[in-house]
Structure 1
Amino acid sequence: MRKLVALSSLLVLSFASIICESAPSPGLDEDVLGLIVFKADVEDPGGKLSSWNEDDDTPCNWVGVHCNPRSKRVSELNLDGFSLSGKLGRGLLQLQSLRKLSLSKNNLTGTLSSALVSLSELRILDLSENNLSGELPHDLFEQCGPLRTINLANNNFSGQIPDSLSNCAGISVLNFSANHFSGSLPSGIWGLHGLRSLDLSFNMLNGEIPRGIDGLYNVKTIDLSHNQLTGSVPDDIGGCSLLRSLDFSENSLSGNLPNSLLNLSYIGNLNLRGNSLVGQVPDWIGDMRGLESLYLSANNFSGVLPTSMGNLRSLKVLNMSVNALSGSLPESMIGCTSLQVLDFRQNLLTGDLPQWIFKVGLQEILLSVNKIEGTMNNSLASAETVSQHNLGALDLSHNMLGGSIPSSIGGFASLKLMNLSKNSLTGSIPRNVGELKELVVLDLSENKLNGSIPPEIGQVTSLQELLLEKNNITGNMPTSLEHCPSLSVLILSNNSLDGPVPVALSKLANLKVVDLSFNQLNGSLPKQLENLQHLFSFNISHNNLQGELPGGFFNTISPSAVSGNPSLCGSATKRSCANVLPKPIVLNPDSATIASSGSSLPPTPAYKRNILSISALIAIGAAAAIVIGVITITVLNLRVKASASRSATALPFSNIDDFSYSPSRDPNAGKLVMFSGELNFSTGTHALLNKDCELGRGGFGTVYQTVLQNGHPVAIKKLTVSSLVKSQEDFERKVKKLGKIRHPNLVTLEGYYWTPSLQLLIYEFISGGSLHKHLHEGSSRSFLLWDERFNIIMGMAKGISHLHQLNVIHYNLKSSNILIDASGEPKVADFGLARLLPMLDRYILSSKVQSALGYMAPEFACQTVKITEKCDVYGFGVLALEVVTGKRPVEYMEDDVVVLCEMVREALEEGRVEECVDERLQRNFPAEEAIPLMKLGLICTSQVPSNRPNMKEVVSILELIRCPSESLEDSG
């Protein structure tokens, strides 16, 4: 009877608004029934809520539930990370004594209601890291008096932040980060005087930061980073006198640093990087004695650094990279005794390397791409007890340093990165380099070093990258390299190395990239090299090597990687090897012995002899094996088809290639999540991931097509790097983030499927095929017209720009990853895989995208240069040129290789750039658009990342390129 009453009450709760207004409080049962209704509205795949039993008198012992010890009413509901999906039902509204509601790290969908925020006792509301969406109601915060903490971070909310937020006078913590909020900052936000922490980062807020920020006189943390805010840093910021951390980074702020920053006497972290701030670094910066980290990088600061910087004794991180600072680093900075990271990369610094730089105990010294000269000897000679230093990264590359590498460098026992490339260093590599036991990257390329590679390099067992190209190094390659088991990149090109390629290389199982080109190596390549499983680049061109290429990877090596070795033979060289083959053995059925080589018995007239060579026997055996294989496969296929219908209900997938999980044995092995709520695929004649449904293959996986039961087509990407995906929680969290990304020019991620050995990404299906197909595989009647091409370039730019606003780098832009929908709109596909698979280092990643030859930015080749959004800008530039010219990024001719960027650049310099436009357009294109487009493509493909525009600027430039006449017509 009691259960019947409970069920009846559940039905009544569906009319919760009526109950709230007219029904008397049912006491304790109200909490039980409210939670049961909440449970009924969500999916609980992990069974975390199994202890919630409607027959219990109290929910106080349920998982995630806490009660007030006096009233016995539910005061806290904490279900963080329970993998729940579904919507926030009205059952929660029955918890009238609830003070804390925390449902973060789930997959809850739907919107947020005002009624939930208005719970009379609610103090803490944490709905972060879900998939909630929609615009917040304007009256959401009309009744939020008790609220102290609101956390809606990492969801998919959009629209403006409601002005009603100003009613939350008692709010202390406000976090709306990582959503899609747009518009200006709400007018009343500076009136929340009790606010201690404000985080609106990673949104699309725009406009200027309004005055009045000093109304937050109790705030300790402000983070408005990664938005589109303009104007200047507010000059009343100094009124936030208790501020400890201020982050306005990655916006479009301009102007000078306001003097009022000096009033922030408690501030420890000041981050203004990635803006357009100008002027000199002010002298008063040295009076901000509490600073522990100062980020002013990627702005337009100029002039010399003030000597007052030496007063910042608490400073630990100083990053002023990518500016136009000049002069030398002041000697007063020896007073920065706490400094750990010094980053002044890509500036205009001059003078000698400061003598104090190795004295203050720095952990990272990053001064690359400046004009620093002199030698390293004086600085290191002035350093005391070098061996006690914790220096982990030393990057002095791309400067004007001369002299030799001091042997005292071996004293930095903690060094992991040493990059001295692109200087004018002379002498030999110090033999005590072997003392750098923790070294991971050693880059001494593009100097004037001589002598041989010291055998002591083999003592650096942690070494992963050794780059010594473009020097004057002589001698043999050291066999001691076999003691560096982690070595994955070995670049020794453009030296004077001689002798053979040592067999020791074959013991380096992790080798991925090897470049030994333009040396004087001789002898034959060790056959054991064919056992290296991870190779994807091995360049031995322009040496004196001879003999036959090894097998394995070398069967597919590029001809250019082995050219310039006249005595080398094998398929890649297009020279066959002159092997001496024995004459075939002849089997004589009349004799018990095999005939001697070169002889055979004459046929006897009594019967016909069967004389079979070994090759004939092998052919017959192979044919028999094929017949048996065909029969076996046919039988297996019949069994699979017969069992497909039986297993379809156990898992949404059947007939999956290389899928070791058996649905019949383990029906719960996989987890399928569709962000739309649709959970089943059709079970028609084509099973999901059947080869008949295959659309294409790429570096990260194979793509199939299937249809949901509601008739909605989808594309399924089966990841081929599943062995690298270890954490289900991390995988799901990142996939959900990618699933929140919505834009007309981006392919939508609609869901995912997870098992420990199989991960699938479910995308919207785009029917029009890829840009590559339209440009390079279409018939003469279906080629793209000019307007279609321009619209494709514009759409690509907008899609990529949107990704960059969300801090997502694509990494793998190419024409096969640009899809065209039925209306001709381009959609960028395959974005976010590098974020999804962070364990892929740069060289594994580049191996996965090696099909993107010609699209990859040059910085991909250097491990020590940070990969930023500018690598996508490079790829976009190549794509734009490809669309205009109709040519592939790299085309191989009979005796030449044509690189598209170089071809267009050369044509532009010679005044014949119009000839580069796709000849199929037959001059039916506006030159006033085509020529600026190609110039934009060349700017985007600049070798120096800082010279490339960002994608937001690219979109603006494209809008200006459109013909004035069309612009006038559009405006009219």
Structure 2
Amino acid sequence: MMMVMRFTDFLLLQILVAVVACAVDLPAPLNDEVLGLIVFKAALEDPTAALASWNEDDFTPCSWAHVECDPATSRVSRLALDSLSLSGPLPRGLDRLPALVALSLSNNNLSGPIPPGLSLLPALRSLDLSRNAFSGGLPDDLARLPSIRSLDLSSNALSGPLHSSIFSNATCGTLRFLSLASNRLEGPLPAALSRCSFLLHLDLSGNRISGAPDFATGLWSLSRLRALDLSLNSFSGGVPEGIARLHTLKSLHLNGNRFSGPIPAGVGLCPHLSSLDLSYNSFVGALPSSMRYLHSLTSLSLSNNRLSGDIPSWIGNLTAIQHLDLSDNKLTGNLPSSLGGLTDLNYLSLTNNMLTGTIPDSIAGCTKLTEVHLKGNDLDGSIPKGLFDLGLQVLDLSSNGLTGTMPAGSTWISETLQSLDLSDNKLTGTIPPEMALYFGLRYLNLSWNDFRTQLPPELGLFRNLSVLDLRRSALYGSIPGDICESGSLSVLQLDGNSLTGPIPEEIGNCSSLYLLLNGSIPASMAELKKLEILKLEFNNLSGEIPQQLGRLDNLLAVNISHNQLIGRLPVGGVFQSLDQSALQGNLGLCTPLVAEPCKLNVPKPLVLDPYAYINGNNNDNDVPTVANPAVSMRHRRFLSVSSIVAITAALVIVLGVVVVTLLNISARRRIGLLENALESMCSSSTRSTGPAVGRLVVFGPRSSLRSEDLVGGAEALLTKATELGRGVFGTVYRASIGGGGTIAVKKLLTANIVQYHDDFDREVRILGKVMHPSLVQLKGYYWTPQLQLLISDYAPHGSLHARLHERPEAIPPLSWADRFKIALGTAKGIAHLHQSFRPPIVHYNLKPTNILLDEKCEPKISDFGLVRLLQKLDKHMISSRFQSAMGYMAPELACQSLRVNEKCDIYGFGVLILELVTGKKPVEYGEDDVVILIDHVRVLVEQGNAVECVDSSMGEFPEEEVLPVLKLGLVCTSQIPSSRPSMGEVVQILQVIKAPL
């Protein structure tokens, strides 16, 4: 009885406690999912407070932002944390969400390896970690996600091989979507990929995957695939006919690899194919006739291959096609008239082939065309009038043999056309005045034709025209007075014509001027107050340069070389710092940079006696004459001036020989020290690894040392502890040599690097000859087919990027004097690469991480010329290589119609000096928007508030230097390559900007 009473009392006590707890509103115990998400949140950096609503006092997380629960069970089913600026490693806590079906963390700043534990989410069907900074290898427990259907790890820094264990039966049995694009994965595709038999979408683009895919049991056995993207990798070999097994395929992208051989006929047996991109490979032969059956094809890109033969007439059967690109091949024959049957076509590019014949009139039937590119063929005949009746935006027919006159065009094209290039043809007749009604036109190039007409006065009516190029077009007459009236024209090129008459004052609205003038330079050009670039080289100019031109304050670059100019240069402005390249080839300019004797347009004085005023007075007793030889002898010197000069020159030469000899002895000692250290490094790694297969070459004043000792074991010396940084072409390590010295060793990425030693040796030796105070000197290299190392000087003081954006508090910020020194030194180094080598050495990747600093803040440019080591140098590969250089890449690197040259470096330099002045990165992500440095500076300069963008951390600065440097940066980053000055001109401009001490 007592026991029963006690049990009853216990129950009553429990009920009482519960009632009291409800009455006083005691906090309920934490929900397990709340606890897991609070732990997850606590480990993240949340700068925008996007997870502020996540409160540990809540009983359930279902009301939190970015959290979705299953209404039937009130369990968390989805987490959508995209684009919230979250940073830090991927935290723990998600294992408390057993009902989680979808997890998305894309477009954040999460970093570090992907931790194990995701396999503890049994219900997870969709995982999106794309567009972050995750690194390391693919975690093994991805293979243990039993319900996964969609897995997106693209746009990270994941590395290592694709292990077969990742494609286990457990995961592949359910997987439908897999994207590992834009990472650093390498090695071959594993045959285990064939286990993912239900896979519908596979994207492995933008990695370093190599070899030939396993066509028998691997890739091509995925018969349910609808989208396959293997672009921008290092696959090689031929594509087999096994592709015909992919009957459901709708999208196939194999571009940017090293595939070779003919295009497989099996491609035509994929009836649902809508997008096919095989560009930037080495395919040969004709287009397979089976492709005529691809009636669903909307986009076909086969550019930059080695395809040959005629364009088949059955191309007109692909009636659904909208994008057709066969450019940069070896196609021959005529353009088939069947092209007119492609009524949905909006983009056509057949640039740089060997096509002949006329442009068919039937092309006017492609009523939806917006871009036509037929540049660089052998087309002849006239331009079809119907082509100018379409709503085109871009028309490029340059570098052909077209004849006849220019069609006037319809109202439709006058409303839509933005770029027209008919240069380098044989067009005649007048330039239609109706073209002035092309209000949207921004780029017009009619150069290198044979119009034999006057400039139409209507040219001044263009509202938005930025570039007008009429060079060498047999134009005559005067320049229309209102040609620059709109204020939008920034580049005017009229040289090589027979224009006469005065230069109109209104032309001063043009910021760049390229003219051909006969006779003297008119003083009226001093009225061109907005002029920034003046190029008058290779003309027939004579006489003196008007001194008034020195008052052109906005003038940044001048080239007057190869004329017949004489006399003094204008005082002031840019003229006082012109280098030899801008002045050479004239008759007698008064400057030490020109070898010809100085000539002036002044009357010559009448000289009766050359000794009359030798002492600076007119003493009659000392006048030397024939009648008074004693006085003459008294004024003669013991040695003649020529003798003194000869003796002085001989002494200088002897002294120079002694100095050079001493320097050579010192250099030999340093080279010997380096060689011995590398020999020891080589031999130490060889003893443990087997026979010698490597080749070591050290550059020096004597014959290069070649060692056969270094093998794969040397790679173990390049450890994580000695790593200095990673770049586009590989990883840089620090290595010690005898005598306490230090060198830098760059381990090159093998993908796309030349694989033959002779080719590698030839290119690296060219780089080894580059010697300049602002360039890192290449000391030598080590080569095997599997490992290539470049040996150079070591810079102990880090990069400009680190000094600007990762500076410790103990190190003071860069002063303006240091920043200007860095800008000028960098400009001189790049100018040396451009001007001292033929062809010029182009850096292509100029940015602050490649500008190293010494103890005096003198710049040392690294990684120059490494593009020469690529097997295949083309714009597509350059663009994909340098995706990490966001903000520094010139826009033409992504445009096939523009020539890629040293102007790309000018653009990168312009961004770099804007970064030096402002202290900001070229692209910065804010809370709600993205700030582009170039646009930001341009707006402030145009508003007259340029001082606001100057980096305040450098303290006081001279506005008379900083503001012109800002403007120079904007000129260098012009969207039009021809508007950018050369690097030699940049050096001149910077020297002018520098205020005297």
TM range (shorter): 0.5 to 0.7
Query: SS at 1:688's partner residue?
Result: coil
SS in 1 for 2:84: coil
Query: Could you tell me which of 453, 473, 493 is aligned with 1:451?
Result: 453
CA distance, structure 2, for counterparts of residue 431 and residue 521 of structure 1: 32
Tell me the percent identity. 30
Q: Which amino acid aligns with 1:182?
A: E
Q: CA deviation at 1:130?
A: 0.6
Tell me, yes or no, if the aligned pair for 2:376 and 2:398 is still in contact at 8 Å.
yes
Taking a change above 3 Å as real, the CA distance of residues 230 and 40 of structure 1, as seen in their structure-2 partners, is: same
2:558 partner letter:
S
Deviation at 1:559, TM superposition (A): 5.0
In the TM superposition, what whole-angstrom CA distance separates every residue of 1:578-635 from its partner, at most 9, and x where no partner exists? 9xxxxxxxxxxxxxxxxxxxxxxxxxxxxxxxxxxxxxxxxxxxxxxxxxxxxxxxxx
- In structure 2, the partner of 1:195 is 199
- What are the superposed Cα offsets for residues 870-894 of structure 1, whole Å, 9 maximum, x if unpaired? xxxxx9xx9xxxxxxxxx99999xx
**Alpha-carbon spacing, 1:550–1:771, altered in 2? closer, same or farther (3 Å):** closer
Aligned to 1:163: 164
Q: Distance in 2 between matches of 1:478 and 1:766?
A: 51
2-structure distance, mates of 1:158, 1:128: 14
Aligned to 2:370: 363
Give the corresponding residue for 1:78: 80
1:698 matched residue in structure 2: 823
Return the letter of the residue paired with 1:177.
A
Superposed, 1:763-802 pairs within 5 Å as 767=854, 797=869
Distance 1:88 1:177 in 2: 20
Could you say which residue in structure 2 is the equivalent of 1:324?
A: 330
1:547–1:567 Cα contact (<8 Å) kept: no
In structure 1, the partner of 2:771 is none
The answer to whether the 8 A contact 1:536-1:553 is kept is no
Distance 1:353 1:293 in 2: 22
Structure 1 counterpart of 2:551: 551
For residues 531 and 369 of structure 1, what CA distance do their matches in structure 2 show? 36
Shift of the alpha carbon at 1:65? 1.2
Tell me the distance in 2 between the aligned counterparts of 1:799 and 1:306.
31
Structure 2 residue aligned with 1:482? 484
Alpha-carbon contact 2:534-2:559 (below 8 Å) kept: no
CA drift at 1:231: 1.3
Are residues 1:278 and 2:404 paired?
Answer: no
- Tell me what 2:431 maps to: 429
Secondary structure of the structure 2 residue equivalent to 1:142: helix
Alignment map for 1:517-596 (pairs within 5 Å): 517-518=516-517, 523-531=522-530, 535-539=532-536, 542-543=540-541, 548-549=548-549, 551-553=551-553, 557-560=557-560, 564=564, 570-571=570-571, 572=575
2: CA distance, partners of 1:675 / 1:519: 49
Match of 1:312 in 2: 318
Kept after mapping to 2: 8 A contact 1:546/1:565 = no
Following superposition, the deviation at residue 501 of structure 1 comes to: 2.2
Cα distance change of structure 1 residues 423 and 805 upon mapping to structure 2, 3 Å threshold: same
2:381 is matched with 374
Q: Using the alignment, how far apart are the partners of 1:197 and 1:175 within structure 2?
A: 8
Query: Measured at CA, do residues 768 and 351 of structure 1 come closer, stay the same or move farther in structure 2, by a change above 3 Å?
Result: farther
Q: Flag the 1:269–1:682 CA change in 2: closer, same or farther, 3 A.
A: closer
Structure 1 residue 806: Cα displacement: 3.0
Alignment of 1:244-283 (within 5 A): 244-283=250-289
Structure 1, residues 831-863: CA drift from partner, whole Å, max 9, x if none?
A: x9699998969xx9xx999999xx99x994499
Q: Quote how far apart the aligned CAs of 1:773 are.
A: 6.2
CA change 1:35–1:764 in 2 (3 A) is farther
Q: Do structure 1's residue 407 and structure 2's residue 408 form an aligned pair?
A: yes
Indicate the residue corresponding to 2:809 in structure 1. Answer: 683
Aligned equivalents of 1:492 and 1:689: distance in 2?
44
How far residue 562 of structure 1 moved from its aligned partner, in angstroms, is 10
Contact residue 508 and residue 527 of structure 2 kept, 8 A: yes
Given that 1:501 and 1:522 are in contact with CA atoms closer than 8 Å, whether structure 2 keeps it comes out as: no
1:363 counterpart letter in structure 2: T
- Say if 2:821 and 2:858, in contact at 8 Å, map to a contact too: no
- Given the superposition, is the C-alpha separation of residues 261 and 850 from structure 1 closer, same or farther in structure 2, using an over 3 Å criterion? farther
Q: Do the aligned partners of residues 437 and 891 (structure 1) sit closer, same or farther apart at CA in structure 2, a change above 3 Å counting?
A: closer
Task: Write the mapping of 1:231-242 to structure 2, written as runs, cut at 5 A.
Answer: 231-242=237-248
Secondary structure at 1:236's aligned position in 2?
helix
After superposition, the Cα gap between the structure-2 partners of 1:467 and 1:237, relative to the gap in structure 1 and judged at 3 Å, is: same
Shift in Å, 1:140:
2.9
Q: 1:747 to 1:416 in 2, by over 3 A?
A: closer
> Taking structure 2 as the reference length, what is the TM-score of the superposition?
0.58
1:260-298 per-residue CA deviation (whole Å, 9 max, x = no partner) reads 112211111100000000101122322211111110000
Q: 1:363 to 1:891 in 2, by over 3 A?
A: closer
Partner of 2:298: 292
1:469 to 468, 471, 482: 471
Alignment of 1:751-762 (within 5 A): none
Give the direction of change, closer, same or farther, for the CA distance of 1:106–1:519 in structure 2 (3 Å limit): farther
Contact map agreement 1:319 1:342 (CA 8 A) in 2: yes
SS in 2 for 1:482: coil
Find the aligned partners of 1:815 and 1:487 in 2 and give their Cα distance.
21
Tell me the residue number matched to 1:146. 147
Q: What's the counterpart of residue 677 of structure 2?
A: none
Q: Residue by residue, what CA displacement relative to the aligned partner does 1:499-530 show, whole Å, maximum 9, x if unpaired?
A: 2222212335xx3x321135578643354422
Q: Which sits farther off after the overlay, 691-700 or 125-134?
A: 691-700
Name structure 1 gaps, 5 residues minimum: 1-25, 579-673, 704-744, 750-760, 776-790, 819-829, 864-874, 879-887, 893-972
CA distance in 2, matches of 1:201, 1:175: 8
Q: What is the letter of the counterpart of residue 813 of structure 2?
A: L
Partner-residue secondary structure (3-state), 2:113: coil
Give the whole-Å Cα distance in 2 for the aligned partners of 1:59 and 1:33: 10
Name the structure 2 match of 1:515.
514
Alignment of 1:600-611 (within 5 A): none
CA gap of 1:796–1:360, structure 2 versus 1, over 3 A, is: closer
The verdict on how the C-alpha distance between 1:795 and 1:392 changes in structure 2, with shifts beyond 3 A counting, is closer
Which structure has the larger Rg?
2
SS at match of 1:202: coil
In 2, Cα distance between the equivalents of 1:764 and 1:400? 46
**1:806 is aligned with what amino acid?**
R
Report deviation, 1:226. 0.6
Partner of 2:118: 116
Q: Secondary structure at the match of 1:558?
A: strand
SS in 1 for 2:399: coil
Partner of 1:206: 210
In structure 2, the residue matched to 1:946 is: none
Work out the CA distance in 1 between the residues paired with 2:806 and 2:343.
Answer: 62
- Give the superposition deviation at 1:236: 1.4
Partner of 2:777: none
Q: Is the 8 A contact 1:493 1:519 kept in 2?
A: no
Partner of 2:626: none
Q: Secondary structure at the match of 2:484?
A: helix
Task: Provide the C-alpha distance between the structure 1 equivalents of 2:429 and 2:521, rounded to a whole number of angstroms.
Answer: 25
Residue 567 and residue 196 in structure 1: after superposition, are their counterparts in 2 closer, same or farther (change >3 A)?
Answer: same
The two structures, once aligned, show a CA RMSD in angstroms of 4.6
- 1:434 is paired with a residue of what secondary structure? helix
- When normalised by structure 1's length, the TM-score is 0.60
Aligned length, in residue pairs: 651
Deviation of 1:213 (Å): 3.1
Partner of 2:40: 38
> Which amino acid in structure 2 is aligned with residue 448 of structure 1?
D
